[in-house]
Amino acid sequence: MKEQESIPVTKGQRSAKFVKTGIQIGGNYIKHYSKKLFNPGLSRDELNEDNATDIYKSLSELKGSALKIAQMLSMDKNILPKSYVDKFTQSQYNAPPLSGPLIVRTFSKNFGKTPDQIYDNFNIHSSNAASIGQVHQAELNGTTLAVKIQYPGVGDSISSDLKLVKPFAFRLLGMNEKDLNIYIKEVEERLLEETDYELEVKRSIKFSEACRHLNNVVFPKYYPALSGKRIITMDWIEGMHLKEFLKTNPSQELRNKIGQALWDFYNFQQHELRAVHADPHPGNFMITPDEKLGVIDFGCIKEMPDDFYHPFFSLISTDVIKDKAKTIAAFRQLDMIHKDDTESQIEFYYKAYREMIELFARPYTSKTFDFSKPEFFEQLYAYAEKVATMPEFKQARGVKHFIYVNRTNFGLYTILQELKALVNTDSFQPHLQ
């Protein structure tokens, strides 16, 4: 892939990029409607393809929070047309990398040294480029290392980027202004944490130590002395990403083993740590040669406060959902039912949310769950599509914690679906006393 020689850093440069993309999209609409004059039955497929290509190209050159939004949207498969999902999925593995001189400049700025003065060997060509940074392989004292380098300007441009990306998100997501502001604010808080590499190193060490006892899950060792605000050095974990792994046609037994490791990793964190790795896209995991799950990124962590954890998991993991009064009380606590709702609104949201939670929580309500069965996902997507068209859901409902907790669980479900794994889902139970 062609390396990127420069990156728009200032607010003006980044704003100009968005304006240019907006003009291109306007041109795509003109082209579409011109063709439609002569072919009234023309579908929006070509328009979606052109828009997705132009938006992804712009976001991938901007990097940072703009590209991160694309990555998040690619995981919410029920929200976007397929052409957007296909294009945005590239951001999980394969954004255009930055060129060597930009990398050397980042090292000089952060350490006052070039990579060659720090490591015995440093590969100037990246192994992996994603939304916030890219990874290079290095060696020091006989140890192979992964060096993650944050793109210039990413941390400083989050707030302004999200303002610029808002019109695109508004059109693509179809949210009302209030909903969108809550969504953007929560994303901004997580992204500010995610661009703080010193915080990421501390969390990575803390979480990998806490999860080290889990079966078939492995973590790299982190090196704080070789890390800083924009650079993280860790052990290189050999292995394959999910797409590569699935191409090897692994046995069902191995699919189940990796799926179980993933399920245990997430549910141990949810229930024992009350904080969870909230970026479950396939690019953050490796399947190692000795058939274990390697977790290589702890940039995005979502903490779950008691006033969210208790009502949420009481609905999912206990008999509360069978008691209408207790269920409504939990919905009120989670702001899914508002204090000024009428009796008919309370009844509507009670039924709608109960249906949603009973569907969403199905993997949690039995001892095992087979993620290879398409019916569960067909029902999930059908329900999401139905809700998306209902005027009752245009106003903001639910506390902000749902944004990342739902994203985490849907991301987990999606990877397990791709693995077609059968897992034991009762390995870690919630603590609700």
Whether 293 is covered by a domain: the verdict is yes
Whether 207 is covered by a domain: the verdict is no
CA dihedral in degrees (259, 261, 265, 267; nearest 10)? 60
Whether 273 is covered by a domain: the verdict is yes
| Burial group, residue 42, by CB count within 10 angstroms (0-12, 13-18, 19+) | middle
> What is the model's pLDDT at position 23?
46
Whether 162 is covered by a domain: the verdict is no
Q: Which residues pair with 98 in a beta bridge?
A: 4
Cβ–Cβ contacts within 10 Å for residue 299, how many?
27
Question: CA 235 to CA 363: how far, in whole Å?
Answer: 34
Digit-coded pLDDT (tens) for 44-63: 566 556 555 555 565 555 55
Whether 429 is covered by a domain: the verdict is yes
Which residue's entry shows tokens 């060696």?
Answer: 139
Which residue's entry shows tokens 């993991």?
Answer: 317
In this predicted structure, the answer to whether residue 219 has a pLDDT above a threshold of 90 is: yes
> What is the model's pLDDT at position 121?
97
Instruction: Choose among 284, 324, 321: nearest CA to 300.
Output: 284
Whether 18 is covered by a domain: the verdict is no
pTM across the whole model:
0.77
Q: Are 48 and 81 in contact (CB under 8 A)?
A: yes
Digit-coded pLDDT (tens) for 341-371: 999 999 999 999 999 899 888 998 889 999 9
> What is the model's pLDDT at position 10?
52
Whether 71 is covered by a domain: the verdict is no
Q: Are 317 and 364 in contact (CB under 8 A)?
A: yes
Domain count, the chain: 1
Question: CA 378 to CA 47: how far, in whole Å?
Answer: 26
DSSP-derived pairing of the beta strands 121-122 and 133-140: antiparallel
CA dihedral in degrees (138, 72, 77, 327; nearest 10)? 130
Instruction: Choose among 202, 200, 289: nearest CA to 240.
Output: 289
In this predicted structure, the answer to whether residue 18 has a pLDDT above a threshold of 90 is: no
Mean pLDDT of 325-330: 95
What is the share, in percent, of the chain residues with pLDDT greater than 70? 71
Whether 326 is covered by a domain: the verdict is yes
Task: Name the pLDDT band for 76 (thresholds 50, 70, 90).
Answer: very low
Range of the structural domain that residue 372 is part of: 239-433
> What is the model's pLDDT at position 249?
96
Mean pLDDT of 272-292: 91
> How many alpha carbons fall within 13 Å on the CB side of residue 147?
29
CA dihedral in degrees (250, 255, 261, 264; nearest 10)? 170
Q: Are 423 and 260 in contact (CB under 8 A)?
A: yes
Question: CA 33 to CA 50: how far, in whole Å?
Answer: 13
Q: Are 268 and 177 in contact (CB under 8 A)?
A: no
Question: What are φ and ψ of residue 323, in 5° steps?
Answer: -110, 110
Instruction: Choose among 360, 370, 375: nearest CA to 423.
Output: 370
Task: DSSP for 323-383, please give it.
Answer: -HHHHHHHHHHTTSS-TT--HHHHHHHHHHHHHHHHHHTGGGGSSEEETT-HHHHHHHHHH
Task: Name the pLDDT band for 15 (thresholds 50, 70, 90).
Answer: low
